Amino acid sequence: AALAMLLAWTHARADEPEPAVELVRAALADTGKVFADPTQTRAEATARLRELLDHYVDLPRVGQDSLGAHWRRATPEQQAAFVGLFERFLANGYSGSVAKFGGLRFGTPTVTERGERATGVKVEVTASDGAVYPVLFAVACGGDRGCRVTDVVAMSISMSRLLSDDFSSFLRANDGRFDALLAALDKRVATTSR
């Protein structure tokens, strides 16, 4: 009887949707809606993407991961300013990139691995030219906000790792001055917002 109950419980759990997959599926559906609206301006699309980033991405964690050890050296005020600029930076970059590619189609999200800190969710992305790109989302579940994306890997390049390398290089070149990074990021956001 105990074996039958265990098998029934295991079968019931297998039928439940995977929270990480559901998050990625919803994020891609909402993103698709943003780019399917031909009447909106790029500024409107960027504003909508900022809302989606805030909803689906653990921005403080991604920002912290992108800065590595430099995060601990920043004051709480600098950290908060960075996260705000970082969100705008990502939204501007994302809207520009997707606008260039246009007509992206997303395959069915599937779990590739489950780890202690995150679940890997893979999606095949098809560009308008027919090229297919595997994209891996790292999704952490738990805590106050449920599941959130913590990294995206496309063409074997981790967004967090790439940004960490760029930000670390900038900070090394500027004697570790966090205010210089904030000023440069603010300037970049202002330039790409146009």
Give residue-wise pLDDT tens across range 152-167. 999 899 999 999 999 9
Q: pLDDT grade, residue 182 (50/70/90)?
A: very high
pLDDT at 6: 37
How do the domains of the chain map onto residue ranges?
Answer: 19-192
Q: pLDDT grade, residue 99 (50/70/90)?
A: low
Residues in Cβ contact with 93 at an 8 Å cutoff, skipping those fewer than 6 apart: 192
The count of other CB atoms within 10 Å of the CB of residue 164 is 18
Domain covering 19-192 assigned CATH 3.80.10.10 in the classification = no
DSSP 32-85: HHHHH-TTS-HHHHHHHHHHHHHHHB-HHHHHHHHHTTHHHHS-HHHHHHHHHH
DSSP 117-131: S-EEEEEEEE-TTS-
Question: 82 and 65 in contact (C-beta within 8 Å)?
Answer: no
- Tell me, what DSSP letter sits at residue 114? E
Question: 98 and 35 in contact (C-beta within 8 Å)?
Answer: yes
Q: Per-residue pLDDT averaged across 61-71, rounded? A: 90
Look up the pTM and report it.
0.82
